[in-house]
Structure 1
Amino acid sequence: MKLPLDPRILAGKLFPILRWSRSYDASAGFGDLIAGITVALTLIPQSIAYASLAGFEPQYGLYASLLGGFVYAMMGTCPQINIGPTALLSLLTFTYTNGTNSDFAILLCFVSGIVQLIAGVAQLGFLVEFVSLPVVSGFTSAAAVTIASSQIKGLLGLRFSAETFIATWRGVYQHIEETRFPDTLLSLACCIVLMGMKALKDIRLKESQDEKNRRSIILQKSFWFAGVARNAVVVVVASLLAFFIHQDKDEPFILTGNITPGLPKPAPPPFSSVIGNTTYTSGDMLAHLGTGLVVVPIVGIISNVAIAKAFARGLTLDATQEIIALGVCNVASSFFRSFPVNGSFTRSAVSDASGVRTPAAGLYTSVIVLLTLALLTPYFYFIPRAALAAVIVCAVLHMVDVAIMKKLWATSRLDIIPLVGTFLCCLGLGIEVGLICGVGVDVLLLLYYHSRPPLDVQFVDDPQCPHYAIRPAGGLHFAGAERVRSKLNALKRTKIITTSVPLETLTIIPDNDLSRQETTDGIPENNSYIPDNNSNIPEGVPGDNINGIPVSNGDVVGNLNNAAITSNRNRVPESGIRSASVLVIYCDALYRMDYTFLQSLKMLVSEWSRGGLIVWCDVRPTVRDQLDAMLPEPLYCDTQNLSSLLVGKLKKSWS
């Protein structure tokens, strides 16, 4: 997002509400109201559960849900997004603030917002593109498994502390005998009801397609509403059950307990804190948060941009504005004692299905959260922790992306490596370390790809000027410098037999028909490459083939990568053994070479110059400047005059 100089345009960019509010009408307002209420029924029980996941009292989840809707309504661009606590950021918050207090989480929220604002103003959103989808998928899947595992103790009614995936399951194994039957039975029932009610919203009645049948339409919408409000229904029913069977001395369920009522008082984020008898300064707090100061805002940016792209439906997305809006949401929320927040795909899908029209839906959601904090917090005492654990587990199950494995296997199997590597590292080493490891694997794969640039080498056995031709594409970098130089030098050592055998005997092999038996049928045995000696056979040249391709005389082009042979069916007037000592490099698709590759290219030119020639064809101006700065008198031409140039140079060299 380029910042315009006109203040009115700048205000419209930073506050999209100034644009869409001009056409806001009653119809849009009604759609946003329905969507806002529906999302609130999902958000409130989730926020209470996510506060527990982050390691804090339930009211902090409501604090985190309070201000995001107001801010995003003014600065956001995607109507479906609802800013609030999410399972992933709650887990990351717990990871970096476990063993401390809420002050650390509030400061983490503030600093994350600042980092996101800096990234947005500096237009650094493109950095998100360097995290590949397999890494994101492995990260979110591992986070979902870790989150679900962390709730096992809540499902079974166990009491122990654990931070990591491995520590959680070790604790479950050690305390399994302490399982509370009432909590286990309640959590199992809640999970069954949640999964069943989720299926309700996907039911499609055949009669509902008939607009005249109002009963079926109402029934269809009732099923859908029950499905999206399932979290609230389960929490309310479980709370009523706990209230009626509650006993002062012997509680059958582990309850949420007292929740601090009322709205949080606006205050700057804490830059010092006291835990026990130890006072932590701002430097101590930031040092304790460590890599979380970078990981948390990056994960928030990735999630928000991904959700916005998913619901953009082909429209242009202002990713920079989305990042700025998210940063302001976190900074503003930190003044109301919130831990880090971002958009939720689940709530966004509910909002979209509810008929949301504009980002104003977040206003209605935040108003309901505000009323809940002001009036309803005393009634949250009887919410069973087992019910909240069931809500979390059922909410994160869809985050495990199993389908991507099948897609990667069919399209790009090498990308399975960063996906599996990220997933395993996140489970074994921790969420933040696993993400860094996944990015590291991606970097190694990029280096691997750069070390094997596609060159599409061809041999053109022209009667007057036999030569090799390559057409590099994109950029050539240091990782592939030596490999490319060795491959091209190997070509120079190859010699060709040329005879007067008619080329009508050759079989024309299409590129897509290389597996057929006729590949070598009809090719005379004496039409082949003959190396200088057996020890100088280029890499991949088995006997009388180069890269498995038999080569003949005449105007034949043999593609050394895809093994295609074509012919113009002419006769070769001369015979004998000649060296293919000319290399033509087509540079029309080449846009950059780094310094290391240019140095390697300089050595290649020096080696080919001993009895050979390199011609640069259709060179871009930027590449030409690089070649002029590195090579002594490079030879340039274009496609039109290539043939005459080669004939003239070779006649001069042979004479």
Structure 2
Amino acid sequence: MITAIFYRGSFYHRIGGIYKMKLPFDPRQLVGKLFPIVQWSRGYNASTGLGDLIAGVTVALTLIPQSIAYASLAGFEPQYGLYASLLGGFVYAIMGTCPQINIGPTALLSLLTFTYTNGTNSDFAILLCFIAGIVQLIAGVSQLGFLVEFVSLPVVSGFTSAASITIASSQIKGLLGLRFSAETFISTWKGVYQHIGETRFPDTLLSLACCIVLMGMKALKDVRLKDSRDEKNRRSVVLQKLFWFAGVARNAVVVVVASTLAFFVHQDKDEPFILTGNITPGLPKPTPPPFSTSIGNSTYSAGDMFSHLGTGTLVVPVVGIISNVAIAKAFARGRTLDATQEIIALGVCNVASSCFRSFPVNGSFTRSAVSDASGVRSPAAGLYTSIIVLLTLALLTPYFYFIPRAALAAVIVCAVLHMVDLDIVKRLWATSRLDIIPLVGTFLCCLGLGIEIGLICGVGVDVLLLLYYHSRPPLDVQYIDDPQCPHYAIRPVGGLHFAGAERVRSKLSDLKRTKFIAAMPLETLTIIPDNDLRRSDTTDGIDNNSTPETNSIIPAPVDTIIVPSTVVGNGVANLNNAAITSNRNRGSESVVRSASVLVIYCDALYRMDYTFLQSLKMLVTEWSRSGLIVWCDARPLVRDQLNAVLQESLYCDTHQLRTVLSGINIAERAAVTSDTQL
């Protein structure tokens, strides 16, 4: 016999007279969620492994020259780019969920690393990598991934486009063989203008040739032969695959050819090309991240290093999260994406990589696209890529001496230019022109003020737009010219917050003070004739024969009206006092009648904050002096909020509204008769 008891949050099962604790969660499910390799490795076979091997080798041919170039972009020696490419593939293969993603150095994070560590040493970049990983882990464990959604797509597009132009501009000096230091977009072009007379012709010619070859080989990847789909025509199929492979491996091909050329024309005394130079061979020794360092005769403590990194400890991990989640969504193809697990995996990659002297890393869209086109099957492809990087560090680093910097600059420029998104301007112009403001604002601020400040400015513009939208909630006011009881009707949608409280109150107060409908602004009022009343109800989504599903109030009979106790006690007297329009005040039929009844349909309203409720209380007080407000289809939460600030409220369901309006009309007529007798 097995019995169970619950004690202090845990279950205990009694088996054979012994109580054994049962955890409130399944450890196997937790391990499988935290380490997805446990799940996908069960069905791993030779066919899947072959696809991953091909993808891993192909990505490595793109990654190795890119990592060397990105190390230069970050301001460090080439081997640090290989260090940054070493461990990400191993860790992501264990914890990642998207087969296409390749973790390693990217142009954007390399630029940000240079921004925050320029003028220091590699220890600052390694510490930045560690802190970025810790922040990403905290965000993932705390389920804070949803915060990324508050950065809109126009801001992300403006940020990446400006970063791409900044990165490409920073490589101009490499393309022209110039030597000067510059940090920002403006200072780079200023330096180019000042040193243009020092341009080296051999480097310029080599970089131009590399750019032409890279763009041409990229076009080869997209070439489609007519007979390539016919499997019987082997020649066309093989030629198609060769074109594709040449386009994918273009970076490696250009670097190898340029290095070979530099080797043959190299002279000890006179170098025609600026070369990469000596690269420290061997694998990095695993060590904890540095929390103190020395630059010259100065020693920096952990506090000094954190102070120097400043906002980079937040900007770098946030940018990494945005990029990684965006790439994972792009390749999810309808599958459910565990964004939290992606953030945790990225955090572990950065923390582990910092122990191998890496600067911050994240997923690369370019390499992910190459992996996808190579037929990747699982995250295990990253294992093969990292193994090739490991062999490169152990065996090939002495041969990197002759890589021309002009070739690396060409690789970076051709890799980032496609990140400039011009099509989004056309899409925003056709769909939401107001979103062009954060796009252009982010773009210009990033170019003029710096990448990190530009991103903050873009988020700030987004916040201002959100406040603008909240301060102008949609409020369509309609005048229903009902022969029984003319009234105004509004249907607020969503939540009403403090930003729009005064605007809504002012708008409805002006409506109340208006004596004739003809004086109302046309943009805020729709006049509906008597014969269109039924049609207007249907248009507004009001069905007299049904009750909204969101209404949890038990409908009363048709002849029963849910009214405050004072109304019930005094019969129609209160309805008489609430009516502002009387028969004696109505002029000729050519003059449109005014209305004292305001019907607020609450079926699409789900929340009001405290400030709005207080403003609403003042509105109800003003309106109730000579009119009446009817709350139709109020949700239980909305009703509770209203009851907390209003003493008496008149509620009804949609199918009861006609009866309520009839009762108001009867009260109005009774008031007119009483006044006439007096």
- The count of residues paired between Structure 1 and Structure 2 equals 601
1:199 — aligned with what? Answer: 219
Q: Distance in 2 between matches of 1:343 and 1:58?
A: 20
1:610 paired with 2:625, answer yes
Q: CA RMSD in A?
A: 2.0
1:634 — aligned with what? Answer: 649
Aligned ranges 1:556-567 → 2 under 5 Å: 556=533
Task: Please give the per-residue CA displacement for 1:359-396, whole angstroms capped at 9, x wherever unaligned.
Answer: 00000000000000000000000000000000000000
Tell me which of 436, 451, 472 is aligned to 1:431: 451
Which residues of structure 1 form unaligned runs of 5+? 497-528, 531-536, 564-573
Q: Distance in 1 between matches of 2:45 and 2:528?
A: 74
1:464 paired with 2:476, answer no
1:584 — aligned with what? Answer: 599
Alpha-carbon spacing, 1:238–1:102, altered in 2? closer, same or farther (3 Å): same
Tell me which of 348, 354, 363 is aligned to 1:343: 363
Tell me which of 28, 31, 39 is aligned to 1:19: 39
Q: Distance in 1 between matches of 2:280 and 2:242?
A: 34
Maintained 8 Å contact 2:291/2:301 = yes
Three-state SS of the structure 1 residue aligned to 2:346 is: helix
1:244 — aligned with what? Answer: 264
Matched AA of 1:436: I
Maintained 8 Å contact 2:285/2:356 = yes
Matched AA of 2:258: A
Deviation at 1:451, TM superposition (A): 1.2
Q: Distance in 2 between matches of 1:451 and 1:558?
A: 31
Query: Which one is further off, 591-600 or 109-118?
Result: 591-600
Three-state SS of the structure 2 residue aligned to 1:458 is: strand
Tell me which of 316, 320, 341 is aligned to 2:340: 320
2:502 — aligned with what? Answer: 482
2:380 — aligned with what? Answer: 360
Deviation at 1:549, TM superposition (A): 5.6
Q: Distance in 1 between matches of 2:200 and 2:337?
A: 50
2:660 — aligned with what? Answer: 645
Aligned ranges 1:485-504 → 2 under 5 Å: 485-495=505-515
Q: Distance in 2 between matches of 1:559 and 1:252?
A: 81
Maintained 8 Å contact 2:327/2:365 = yes
Deviation at 1:458, TM superposition (A): 1.6
Task: Please give the per-residue CA displacement for 1:53-83, whole angstroms capped at 9, x wherever unaligned.
Answer: 0000000000000000000000000000000
Q: Distance in 1 between matches of 2:399 and 2:128?
A: 30
Maintained 8 Å contact 1:459/1:559 = no
Three-state SS of the structure 1 residue aligned to 2:359 is: coil
Deviation at 1:641, TM superposition (A): 0.9
1:594 paired with 2:609, answer yes
Matched AA of 2:658: S
Three-state SS of the structure 2 residue aligned to 1:259 is: coil
Task: Please give the per-residue CA displacement for 1:218-263, whole angstroms capped at 9, x wherever unaligned.
Answer: 0000000000000000000000000000000000000000000000
Task: Please give the per-residue CA displacement for 1:521-565, whole angstroms capped at 9, x wherever unaligned.
Answer: xxxxxxxx34xxxxxx44x25xxxx758666555648989x99xx
2:562 — aligned with what? Answer: none
Q: Distance in 2 between matches of 1:548 and 1:130?
A: 34
Maintained 8 Å contact 2:276/2:400 = yes
Matched AA of 2:205: L
Task: Please give the per-residue CA displacement for 1:261-318, whole angstroms capped at 9, x wherever unaligned.
Answer: 0000000000000011110000100110000000000000000000000000000000
2:635 — aligned with what? Answer: 620
Maintained 8 Å contact 2:175/2:207 = yes
Q: Distance in 1 between matches of 2:640 and 2:528?
A: 36
Maintained 8 Å contact 2:480/2:527 = no
Task: Please give the per-residue CA displacement for 1:403-425, whole angstroms capped at 9, x wherever unaligned.
Answer: 10000000000000000000000
Three-state SS of the structure 1 residue aligned to 2:160 is: helix
Which residues of structure 2 form unaligned runs of 5+? 1-22, 541-582, 588-592, 672-678
Deviation at 1:129, TM superposition (A): 0.2
Deviation at 1:445, TM superposition (A): 0.5
Q: Distance in 2 between matches of 1:555 and 1:28?
A: 66
Task: Please give the per-residue CA displacement for 1:192-212, whole angstroms capped at 9, x wherever unaligned.
Answer: 000000000000001001111
Deviation at 1:4, TM superposition (A): 7.7
Three-state SS of the structure 1 residue aligned to 2:299 is: strand
1:141 — aligned with what? Answer: 161
Maintained 8 Å contact 1:458/1:558 = no
Maintained 8 Å contact 1:460/1:558 = no
Matched AA of 2:634: V
Query: Which one is further off, 350-359 or 617-626?
Result: 617-626
> Between the two proteins, what is the percent identity of the paired residues?
83
Q: Distance in 1 between matches of 2:648 and 2:661?
A: 16
Deviation at 1:634, TM superposition (A): 1.4
1:113 paired with 2:133, answer yes
Three-state SS of the structure 2 residue aligned to 1:426 is: helix
Maintained 8 Å contact 1:72/1:329 = yes
Query: Which one is further off, 355-364 or 461-470?
Result: 461-470
Q: Distance in 1 between matches of 2:505 and 2:214?
A: 62
Deviation at 1:579, TM superposition (A): 3.0
1:7 paired with 2:22, answer no
